[in-house]
Amino acid sequence: MSESNLTRSAPESPARPAVPLMDLFRRISPIAGELGEIFAAKGHELALVGGSVRDVFLGRAGNDLDLTTDARPERVLEIVRDWADSVWTIGIDFGTVGVRKGGLLLEITTYRSEAYDPKSRKPEVAYGDDLGEDLSRRDFAVNAMAVRLPAREPADFVDPYGGLADLAAKVLRTPGPPERSFDDDPLRMLRAARFAAQLGFSIDPPTFEAVKRMAERIEIVSAERIQAELDKLIQGAHPRRGLTLLVDSGLAAHVLPELPKLRLEIDEHHRHKDVYEHTLIVLEQAIALEESGPDRVLRWAALLHDIGKPKTRRHEPGGRVSFHHHEVVGAQMAKKRLSELKFPKDVVADVARLVELHLRFHGYGTGEWTDSAVRRYVRDAGHLLDRLHKLTRADCTTRNKRKALALSRTYDHLEERIARLAEEEELAKIRPELDGNEIQRILGIGPGPVVGKAYKFLLDMRLDKGLIGKDAAEEALRAWAESQGL
């Protein structure tokens, strides 16, 4: 690539940023400029690249910077050793050296290109000597911009593929032919949906058509990499946009097949065109209830809460459709899917539990539950109670305003009862009134399975009757033991 093509900026308005390039350069950390001086003195190039440049234009600059250089990894280590506060080499096999300087984390990667063998899950890394070639192998034009360091003049801004214009248009487009880009790294197809969810961008038609044609190729990518992209997507500002792209492109059929299957199912109340649309609305409503940023577990539970419906669909008399026990089946399916995607065990367990419990409230009616039933609801939810509140409220998508208001008021009533009982009894810490040692002393037995059975009996009694006092608990325990032939 010629130098003139390499350094040309994006077209004029509307792509030209409102703030002059030199002002934008001043927003780049002085530490990055200082390191650029050091590399130049050692005879090497260094440039701010990719998302770090994109985010400067978006006003989202953070404490993590991506840099690229013609220096090989071993040479990078030599250059930064005496300058950095700390260095790590966990990514050195892929050409990346990590550096911490002050409050900044910098990843310095040697110019490279990545390509996948059609039968391999791991990229092959080849180093290069040209910034232009490095940018040509980037995923999207908005990430194929660079700023040569230290940035001194407009020519140091490098935008050979019109990334700045795409940024202004909020569109994702590959630097070269999309087929080549996705063949080099199929994960880029999924990354397009992730960026759409994070930034609210769309995918240009030729790029989207390439995704549709090549969707099956995502299957060579490791589960860990797919999980990372899906997790970022669902925690983005616009997850519905990203999920829609996954389904419409055919990618979801390979990475989250439960989602497109929901399109085929009409829900039991005929409220929506399909369960898929209902699910997206529930996700959006759950997000609206978040209090302090994206809630990973809540969002995944909202997305997967009805995935058991296709397997439990039954046609009933009168043309109705039922999905009995879909919450139980869905919990098992959620656990299986998230485990296969290598999610942490605690996330898998929490999401599956919320899916299992999301219909429990509907047995509450207009407040018929006894205090015992309320205690069990709280105990079964455990640390997920607040999320269960949010998921249950989000799951109301009826267009009947009177019905929606009635459901909301009923749940308000349940929460008020939970709060009252919690204040009286510390519901979150419910335990039998006699512990294991006391059970053994009263019954004159040692450790063993009988103690566990007695403990369960006392716990059930505690949930049913509340606090009855230790004397009454002991009397009940003795009566139970006698009935068991002990």
Give the pLDDT confidence score for residue 264 in this predicted structure.
Answer: 65
The residue type found at 216 is: E
- 485 dihedral zone (left: phi>0; alpha: psi -120 to 50; beta): left
CA angle 445, 451, 455 (to 5 degrees): 135
Q: Reduced to 3 states, what is the DSSP secondary structure of residue 125?
A: strand
SS3 101: strand
* Structure confidence at residue 213 (pLDDT): 97
The residue to which tokens 């990618």 are assigned: 251
Strand partners, 104: 101
Let me know if 291 is exposed, middle or buried by CB neighbors in 10 A (0-12, 13-18, 19+).
Answer: exposed
Distance CA 286, CA 279 (A): 10
* 375 CB-near residues (< 8 Å, 6+ apart): 421, 425, 427, 430, 463, 466
Which residue bears the tokens 């497109």? 260
Q: Distance (Å, rounded) from C-alpha 175 to C-alpha 162?
A: 8
Q: Which helix (H) or strand (E) holds 425?
A: helix 401-425
Q: Which residues contact 138 (CB under 8 A, 6 or more apart)?
A: 50, 144, 175
Asked if 297 and 319 count as a contact pair (C-beta separation under 8 A), the reply is: no
Residue 284 host element (H or E): helix 275-288
| Residue 307 DSSP one-character state | T
Q: Coil, helix or strand for 99?
A: strand
Q: What are the angstrom distances between the C-alpha of 285 and each of 67, 198, 235, 297, 298?
A: 39, 18, 14, 14, 11
Strand partners, 172: 203
Its sign, for the CA torsion 419, 424, 426, 428, is negative
Phi, psi of 84 (to 5 degrees): -80, 155
Whole-number pLDDT of residue 145: 94
Q: What is the pLDDT of residues 66-108, one digit of tens each?
A: 999 999 999 999 999 999 999 999 888 889 999 999 889 999 9
Cα dihedral sign for 207, 209, 212, 215?
negative
Q: CB count, 10 Å around CB of 374?
A: 20
Distance CA 480, CA 86 (A): 64
**Structure tokens that stand for 286 in this block:** 């759950």
Q: What's the pLDDT at 132?
A: 92
Residue 158 and residue 9 in contact, taking contact as beta carbons nearer than 8 Å = no
- pLDDT of amino acid 234: 97
* pLDDT value of position 63: 82
Q: Given this model, what pLDDT does residue 417 score?
A: 86
Q: How far apart are CA 144 and CA 13, in angstroms?
A: 19
User: Cβ atoms within 10 A of the Cβ of 292, count?
Assistant: 5
pLDDT single digits (tens) 32-74? 999 999 999 999 999 999 988 998 888 876 788 999 999 999 9
Residue 426: CB partners within 8 Å, gap ≥ 6?
none
Task: Report the Cα–Cα distance between both ends of the chain, in Å, rounded.
Answer: 88
pLDDT < 50 regions, the chain: 1-19, 267, 271-272
Closest CA to 53 of 17, 82, 77, 88: 17
Q: Distances in Å between the alpha carbon of 6 and those of 1, 79, 162, 203?
A: 7, 26, 11, 24
Whole-number Å distance between alpha carbons of 322 and 54: 49
Hey, which residues does 315 pair with through a beta bridge? 321
